[in-house]
Amino acid sequence: MKVTSRVFLVAFFGLVAVICLMVGTLATGSTRSRQVQSDLVEQVAATIRCPVCDGLSVADSSAPIAKDIRGKILQDVHRHMTESQIENSFVAQYGRSILLRPQRSGLSALVWLLPLVAISIGILILAAFYYDRAKNPPWKLPRGDLK
């Protein structure tokens, strides 16, 4: 009878330990998911322009509409929307100018490409100039002109 009661006690405490570990894991997981959600809200809010502020993101602004937009972003994150889905919903509501990062297609792509093209052309011109100068230095006179 004593062996059975010991086995029962060991099994009971083992079950309690497993339940405690499961509850602790679930609590830690919900804290992590809250942190991930908070990070996603901040990340999205940093890409959206405050409609009433001059050059500030919704994350940096303390205006009432910025707080409302952060709340809307949080609701969208709770609905498991992706960053691009959230941004697209704000673009649909406010227009493309609500985003702080410029579009990288169409005519806006020129904003990204023209500086790279200009720098590349400048480097090629300098390389051609220095190549020609190294080949024909200005301080060397042709041998026939020494009379």
pLDDT tens, position by position, 22-55 = 676 655 555 547 777 788 888 989 999 998 888 8
Q: Tens digit of pLDDT for each residue in 109-128?
A: 777 788 888 999 999 999 88
Q: What mean pLDDT is predicted for residues 91-108?
A: 79
Q: Structural domain boundaries of the chain?
A: 1-101, 102-141
Spatial separation of the C-alpha atoms in residues 116 and 60, rounded to whole Å: 31
d(CA 73, CA 109): 28
CATH for the 1-101 domain, from 1.10.8.640, 1.10.630.10, 3.40.50.300, 1.10.1040.10: 1.10.8.640
39, 66, 76 from 43: Cα distances, Å? 6, 14, 13
Buried b (16+ CB within 10 A) or exposed e, 81-119: beeeebbeebbeeeeeebbeeeeeeeeeeeeeeeeeeee
pTM to 2 decimals? 0.53
